[in-house]
A and B are shown apart, each in its own frame.
Chain A
Amino acid sequence: MTPEAIRLDHVSLWRRTQEEFSYDLKKTLFSLLQGKYTKPAKKQVLNDINLVVNPGEKIGIIGSNGAGKSTLLKLICGILDPTEGKVRVRGNIAPLIELGAGFNMNLSVRDNIILYGVLLGYSKQEMLTRTLDILNFAELNDYADMPVKSLSSGMKARLGFTVATDTEPDILILDEVLSVGDAKFARKSRQRIDHLWEKSSTILFVSHSLEYIDDLCDRAIWLNQGKIAFQGETKEAIDLYLSHLDVKEYTHNN
């Protein structure tokens, strides 16, 4: 039996709501002095999530905005720690959440490739040897020494995509980033994803494009208000999700 790539046991997450927190030493001190200090409120974002992903599985995650999809991915990436329960992940993860977050706008494209790569966990040496490949794939050779802020947003997305997918991670996390750039690059990036797909890396894929999910994933998870409402057959998950939306719309209209 192969060990599971990702395993979540009874995972719950409570987060502090940012609006209620004062961020203010002066105010906090005064409220303490006046005895009005209240502990910041917390809200449950994920509720008793149980999930097992085997190596090579492609899993789609669907759900409406705020259902906790991105939060779930962050937990799996290790960015957030669960309040209760246990998250176990085997293998290295390449997160592809909102491309280009790691870029420093004032540095050159070349420097950024190395910076981003090292942030993602590769060594500097490794990144130096891979820079050229990355520039080639992203078609940014002519821009190598220009600051990233001079690139168009499409080019930035291309750069982020290329750096993150340049090696073959064991687990790839995709948050709405299947096609980036112009039509030509979108095709290329799609090919690369297909390649990673075939290489049987485990993929977690969040998208609002249900067609993509239906097309690409073996299994789907429908998250609703921080809970797994359904996990299993992709088609069934999508149908359930859609009918749930219909019901909601129906009750709303009446």
Chain B
Amino acid sequence: MTTAEDRYRLLDKQPFVSTASVTSLAGTIHSLREILRHREMLGLLVRRDLKSRYKDSALGFVWTLIRPLTQLVIYYVVVGKFLQAERGIPEFAVYIFAGLTAYSLFSEVIGSATSSIVGNSGLIKKVYLPREVFPIASVGSALFNFIMQLAILLLATVVTWHVPFDVDLLYAIPGILVLLVYGLAFGLLLSAVNVYLRDIGYLVEVLLLLLLWASPIVYAWRFVRDVLGNGVLLEIYTDNPVTLSVLAFQKAFWTSSDSTPYPGLLLMRLVIAFVVGLVLLVVFQRVFSRLQGNFAQEL
């Protein structure tokens, strides 16, 4: 048991810490250190999210799989068969699921991060924590679901005898990184703005829907090229980070990718997108820390 005197001596050695958020770039490093200090709690938060989500449901985690599988069936049957989008796209199911896996990682990160601050208002109003942990924790639980989906995807490739074990599989890594960095960057921004303007939550839903169809998930990239031509418009379409990641996922997991045209320099585009995403992440983190000072009273 520490005596009062020991406690005073220990306290006397500690430097004073200001509670105010640092607004310069040094603040980012400070925030990063704070988050690292709370990494254990971050893990618990992720587990809390996952556990509580399916707590009283009989099927539990199976539900995380049912949703994407249903989506797959709908797109495969409706878009693929009825609308005949599968013409010229072999292994259409795997093709869709590769893109869908990438897209749903992004959409889940954005969706749950946006509501993370408002959803954790009970904590934010009462305890001091680096508030960034909440959007980050939603990235964590989204990643968990993503891994489940990825497992199904790989299983599907095995079942259909198109196991994608070649060098192209490595495309998945920059694909995931780009999704995560943009997901986190926009997740931070949107979660903070959502506190002040609850409309953001609804806006995000609409934008995510738009993003689903703005990426070559249920159709092929070359369809777009055929319509837009090789001009600036195609470049704008292609350099959407979600589109790039979707393309990277298809390259990685869909074995027929070699026989279809893909935008040139995909890897370089991914790297550039990643770097731009990092810059955005830093900028949005600054915005976040500006806005977070008033969270407790706005919630």
A binds B: no
